[in-house]
Amino acid sequence: MILKNLSEIFGPSGNECEIRDFIVETIKDHVDSLKIDKMGNIIAFKKGKNKNSKKVLLGAHMDEVGFMIKSIEENGMLRFLPAGSIDKRVVIGKNVLIGKEKVKGVICYKPIHLQRKDYNNIPDFDSLVIDIGSTEKKDAEKYVSVGDYAVFDTKFEKKGNIIKGKSFDDRLGCAAIIEILKERYENDLFGAFFVQEEVGLRGSKAAVFNIPADYAIVLEGTSAADMPHSKDEPDYPKMGDGVVITISDRSFFVHKDLFNETVSCAKENKIKYQFKQPMVGGTDGGEIHKSKEGVKTIVFAVPSRYIHSPVSYADLRDYRSMVDLTKKLLNKLK
């Protein structure tokens, strides 16, 4: 299952080499041209069937949240920084993989019976270390170097329609584009896989200079609300209720005409959809929609519980709704 491969592959922000190589190998026989730009973004092109076709950009980001090793202590412990937005409260005691050799480590804090007054405080990343089992610096340096990246060590699992794994933000979007590129559509199609989204939408900002798009559809993984939350917070989007359509977030407002066309397309084809809570988070759509003279942009997403954490849940029916709606819309845009 391609989602298993995409979920488990190492690819934190700034070190997307492995995930990029896998995607290139997977799509190369299904596109008319393919290139990697100076930032490391993949830009694939597939000619449309219509001579007067529009140019549509499909975008997803390859990178996942992770960590970077910043120093090695004399006792062999590793100090680190987050690469992307990660809740400090969910990382203690979690397994990680470090560097090219995938060295196993555990994120550590002092034992609970030594915390006393610190128990009610959230420790900063400066207070945490990664333990790889070394007892001195020179031993740790045999396996790990300053500047190495680390990601959560999480295995992908599937039970019925429910999948569990890491990096669903945004390997779900990557999987969708890979699947969509296997077919040809009325419109010209650019399939773009961006780097460094989790640290500031950097890859897409560079990539769109070379993509003459009329429309853009960004495919994402987004937070699901069916998890513990306050009563004054919304109960949507939910796993199992269909593809999430973003009306607005902190980075953009959806193009009104494209939004209406999308909702009409979903209703015509009886595709389940729901709306994201406005003004929360941001995606590559925030950079794409304001590139050049402007691009009509919309964002679709699969709701996932606990994104940016060691493990997430998602529903394959929502993923299928996202793929189906994107395919129908690609032939409908005029």
- Binding residue per annotation — 308? yes
Q: Is 141 marked active-site? A: no
Whether residue 237 has a cis bond before it, omega within 30° of 0: yes
Among candidate residues 16, 64, 197, 261, the one labeled active-site is 197
Closest Cα partner for 181 from 326, 17, 4, 333?
326
Contact 246, 299 (CB under 8 A): yes
Sign of CA dihedral 289, 18, 11, 243: positive
Which residues sit opposite 217 in a β-bridge? Answer: 58, 298
- Binding residue per annotation — 198? yes
- DSSP H stretches of helix in the chain: 2-8, 17-27, 137-140, 168-180, 202-207, 256-268, 285-288, 316-332
What tokens appear for 177 in the block? 């584009």
- Binding residue per annotation — 25? no
How would DSSP label each residue in 185-208? -SSEEEEEEES--TTTSHHHHHHG
Contact 12, 63 (CB under 8 A): yes
Report how far residue 14's alpha carbon sits from residue 27's, in angstroms, rounded to the nearest whole number. Answer: 22
Annotated binding site: 61, 169, 198, 220, 308
Please identify every residue annotated as catalytic.
Answer: 197
Annotated binding site for Zn(2+): 61, 169, 198, 220, 308
